[in-house]
Amino acid sequence: MNKDNTINNIIYLPEKFYKQRDVSIYSLLKESGYFELHNQIIEANIFDGLIKHPECIDQWLNWSADKRSSSGWYFKQNDNGKYVVGYFPLKENLETTEYLDEVEACAAFIKREIEDIRNS
């Protein structure tokens, strides 16, 4: 699988997860080709993918809100309209970052989230 296809598969992961119903996010991420290319896919690549498919950003916001896991990354919009990417529970080495740009925030979240899933 080439890099562009993999990036496209990644940004549509939440949609696929809820449509298919019978496959875990771990399996979908594996099928996306990311496990083989994880060192080559950086936030900037995901950012470029999201610019072409901005409809995926809301899906990732919902994905984050729907998590019921004991720990992990989150992505949400603050009351002041800024986008926040952080880790629950708070950890010294994992920063919480505020973004003005939702695409930048979403790309940062996706990269962190898929790394977490790959390593789970």
Partner 1 sequence: MKRLISIFILLFLVGNSFAKTADFLGVKEVVAAKGGTTVLGKYPDYINLAEELGAKRFNIPTNVWNKMTPAQQWGANQKFLDRMIMRGDKVILSNPVLDINKVSGAFRQELDYLIGKGYRLNSTGTQLIK
Closest CB to partner 1 among 44 and 65? 65
Query: Residue 114 Cβ, how far from partner 1 at the closest point, in Å?
Result: 10
Binding to partner 1 (CB under 8 A) within 33-62 occurs at 62
Binding to partner 1 (CB under 8 A) within 58-97 occurs at 62, 64-72, 74, 76, 88
Integer angstrom CA distances of residue 16 from 20, 42, 113: 6, 21, 16
**Of residues 64, 105, 104, the one with CA closest to residue 84:** 105
How big is the CA angle at 99 (ends 98 and 100), to the nearest 5 degrees? 135
Q: Which residues are at the interface with partner 1 (CB under 8 A)?
A: 17-18, 21-27, 62, 64-72, 74, 76, 88, 116-117, 120
